[in-house]
Structure 1
């Protein structure tokens, strides 16, 4: 079996990301420190994977290069949206996007990278829809 073990990315501010991922997606801080180059780093534990984050010199926020967004499966998207509204991570007007096979909303991390928070209503039908759409 192959599964994602970890994601590793640069961020503008490690402490902001520790707070964000802890509040939004219940990541647990498992290590934090300063690397040999003097830059802050942290390791956050998610559900079945880890997120390694570190600062670097001349960090530039480039949110629209080759990576669109990362999607997280959410058991109850309505509950999470209300929680994030109360914490101020999303606007009070934010609504769930209802699609034929999912219910979801998007949020941006502290550096502006987009995160898709998705509750599938029928992922198998979604895959069949894609397959049928490309065959015709």
Structure 2
């Protein structure tokens, strides 16, 4: 079996707040937005890459403390921290350097899910 990751679903309380975070702050392009079974859904991510699927709900299916995080890679961790700080997004944890070739930190999305921002060298 040959699998490729298609999307990761996050059930969010406030779709517009989450859309602002992932699109306006993190810069993920909106792939499509639609309604299914009465729920608003937004798919975000660059063409040809796995997507983040945001589904409007009243109670997230996963609690933020469940241990699930979403990771993104950047060219410069320091620039990412500065950019996020300028937008009022504080670093929740880190930066952490587990080995000489990896540095990362975590921020929180509007529902409290951990978002890891990593730099590989």
TM bracket, shorter-chain basis? 0.7 to 0.9
The 1:36–1:104 alpha-carbon spacing in structure 2 relative to 1, beyond 3 Å, is same
Residue 114 of structure 1 corresponds to which residue in structure 2?
A: 114
CA distance in 2, matches of 1:52, 1:19: 14
SS in 2 for 1:40: strand
Contact 1:14/1:54 (8 A) holds in 2: yes
Per-residue deviation, 1:95:
6.0
Structure 2 unpaired stretches of 5+: none
TM-score by length of 1: 0.71
Deviations 1:45-100 (A, max 9, x none): 247121221112x41461122x3322222211111110000000116xx8633332
Residue 8 of structure 2 corresponds to which residue in structure 1?
A: 7
Contact 1:26/1:46 (8 A) holds in 2: no
SS in 2 for 1:19: helix
CA distance in 2, matches of 1:97, 1:104: 5
How many equivalent pairs are there? 117
Residue 74 of structure 2 corresponds to which residue in structure 1?
A: 74
TM-score by length of 2: 0.79
The 1:68–1:95 alpha-carbon spacing in structure 2 relative to 1, beyond 3 Å, is closer
Q: Which has the higher helix share?
A: 1
CA distance in 2, matches of 1:85, 1:45: 22
Q: Which has the higher strand share?
A: 2
Structure 1 unpaired stretches of 5+: 122-136
Q: Which has the higher contact order (CA 8 A, sep 6+)?
A: 2
SS in 1 for 2:23: helix
Q: Which has the larger radius of gyration?
A: 1
- Kindly report which structure 2 residues correspond to 1:40-51, keeping only aligned pairs within 5 A, or say none: 40-46=40-46, 48-51=49-52
